[in-house]
Amino acid sequence: MLNRKIQPEIKAMENISIAAPQRKIMSNGIPLNIIEAGSQEVVRLDILIGAGKWHQTQLLQTLFANRMLREGTKRFTSAEIAEKLDYYGAWLELSTSMEYSYITLYSLNKYFASTLEVLESIVKEPIFPEKELNTVVDTNKHQFLINSTKVEYLAQKSFAGSIFGAEHPCGRYASADDYDKVTSACLKEFYDQYYHSGNCTIYIAGKVTEEILGLLNNAFGNDSWGQVENKVSLLPGTINTTSQKRIFTEQTTAMQSSLKMGKVMIQRSHPDYFKMRVLVTIFGGYFGSRLMSNIREDKGYTYGISAGIASYPDAGVFMIATEAGNEYVEDIIKEVYHEMNILQTDLVPDAELNMVRNYMLGEMCRSYEGPFSLSDAWMFVQTSHLPDSYFEESLKALQSVTTEELRTLAQKYFDQEKVIEVVAGKSI
């Protein structure tokens, strides 16, 4: 009999097993990744197109080329697409990143043939109708104008430009005028250049059957589609970080200021990256972090503050972010540097390191527990240009990192002279 008065033994996770996808090459050369897991009669299909913001020759081109796929094809109007997907209980997501455009379909197995028919038309034969385009552009422009008054947006725009430079693909932000320049012709040009079977990868996850694979192969894998002769080309980008220490954007009506602090950092491929993630988590990467304990819990300057490392195609970026009353900004900056100094001089207590280690291990387990999260994990590996050993290497670094190594990393990478301070809000 189980004695419920005795606490279960806590065991450290010794290894992590992330089920790898079954990898195939379809007849037309498209890489197909199959993740067969789960008991529910549902699948998720992801089509990755190697076309992101880094590839566009005109601002907003990537966003609207992807967004307009569902607004009309040679076979279906936008209303028919929405009605059919709704009728079959399917869900379509369209999104973009710096290097990729994503087309994601969630579908019940029993209706996969019908939903796939709609998806095939969306991917292979969009028409970018002017009427629907004008509506979508106007809606997005209106949202942009609203966002442009928010300190969070103003600070993020200023921070990206300060880190990368205004001419770098990661530092370029659209203006209201750029929305007026979006045309059906420029979207069609972008689509023709990048949306084809020679620039595509497919992931399918869930309860994947032979019937579903057959339908998928007939729709996308048998013959080449699109203008496969067109080659992918990346726009040149040179990082030009500002020499300014403080950048301030005035927003006279703001009740709060948005603060971004950061610097260019190592990428995921760097040997120090995995252990640096542990240091950044201790510093500001979870609710019990140093920054939260000091600036939120002790000082009460903000409801939340966080730190992390964001990865871009040619750089990593270390960033601290928060919003607070205008009068607290200087005090917050002071405390951020204070916490950096402590990590550079004092060893992290073993109890704190063990707590953070267990927290990060738990997050890893939760991230890879279902078929769709597994699909996300392996797409992340592909789109980040990482080896399949990424997860095992991450676990080994988390298990082996020492307090002495963390202090050395803080001394090496928490270079306060290179940290840029970006503030958007009301001057006081």
pLDDT bracket for residue 235 (50, 70, 90):
low
DSSP string, 162-178: HHH-TTSTTT----HHH
pLDDT bracket for residue 13 (50, 70, 90):
low
pLDDT bracket for residue 65 (50, 70, 90):
very high
Tokens standing for 169?
A: 């693909």
* Alpha-helix runs per DSSP H in 77-183: 78-87, 112-124, 130-147, 151-164, 176-180
pLDDT bracket for residue 403 (50, 70, 90):
very high
pLDDT bracket for residue 12 (50, 70, 90):
low
What are the residues whose beta carbons fall under 8 Å from the beta carbon of 340, sequence distance 6 or more?
283, 410, 414, 416
pLDDT value at 321 more than 90: yes
pLDDT bracket for residue 165 (50, 70, 90):
very high
Give residue 81's pLDDT.
97
pLDDT bracket for residue 36 (50, 70, 90):
very high
Kindly report the average pLDDT of the chain as a whole number: 94
pTM of the full structure = 0.91
Taking residues 228-257, report their average pLDDT: 87
Taking residues 242-270, report their average pLDDT: 94
Taking residues 10-18, report their average pLDDT: 70
Is residue 157 within 8 Å of 144, Cβ to Cβ?
A: no
pLDDT value at 16 more than 90: no
DSSP state of 326: G
- Which among 237, 193, 178 has a CA at the least distance from the CA of 54? 237
Could you give all domains of the chain from N- to C-terminal order, each with its CATH number?
22-221 (3.30.830.10), 246-425 (3.30.830.10)
d(CA 19, CA 37): 9
101-111 confidence digits (pLDDT tens): 999 999 999 99
359-380 confidence digits (pLDDT tens): 998 888 877 778 899 999 999 9
175-193 confidence digits (pLDDT tens): 999 999 999 999 999 999 9
334-349 confidence digits (pLDDT tens): 999 999 999 999 999 9
114-131 confidence digits (pLDDT tens): 999 999 999 999 999 999
